[in-house]
Amino acid sequence: MIKIKSAINRSLKIYQKYKEIINYLIVGVLTTVVSVASYTLFRIIIQKYMICTILSWIAAVLFAYFANRIFVFKSKDKKLLKEFINFLTCRLLTLGIEMFIMFILVDLLKINDIISKILVQFIIIVLNYVFSKLLVFKPKN
């Protein structure tokens, strides 16, 4: 029983130390699930993978903005529209990167689009964290 309490205490200390990154990874995984699931659903009715990529991106961005604002960065910024526009701008940049990489993987390298979508998400999660941390949800002085 003591070992379990000790392990729990160590885990809580690690969580407190890396809380923002851990929360971001959780939200990133959930955002990826939203992105991949919506992409897969759109692919059932739409044949063009690029259109599906854009539609799944919209669903993921809306989810990600509110989840990051509330659970990760705990933003108190009253200028919600300005903050969302900054978030959207950064996500548009990563959308362009995502579409470029998808084009290379799917059209040039002939890798399955669903597999490509999942692989690309790892790069996008890292880029989105950096942009969110440095440009969108930066603490106000």
Q: What was the pLDDT predicted at 141?
A: 58
DSSP structural state of residue 73: S
- The single-letter code of the amino acid at 5 is K
Q: What confidence tens digit (pLDDT) does each residue in 85-124 have?
A: 999 999 999 989 998 999 999 999 999 998 998 899 889 8
Q: What is the pLDDT of residue 140?
A: 65
The DSSP code for 18 is: T
Q: Do residues 55 and 42 touch, judged by C-beta distance below 8 A?
A: yes
Positions of the chain with pLDDT lower than 70, given as ranges: 1, 140-141
Q: Report the pLDDT value the prediction gives residue 76, as an integer from 0 to 100.
A: 86
Q: What are phi and psi of 139, to 5 degrees?
A: -60, 140
pLDDT value at residue 114: 87
Which residues, at least 6 apart from 80, have a Cβ–Cβ distance to it below 8 Å?
none
Give pLDDT, residue 104. Answer: 97
Model pTM?
A: 0.74
Per-residue pLDDT, 97: 95
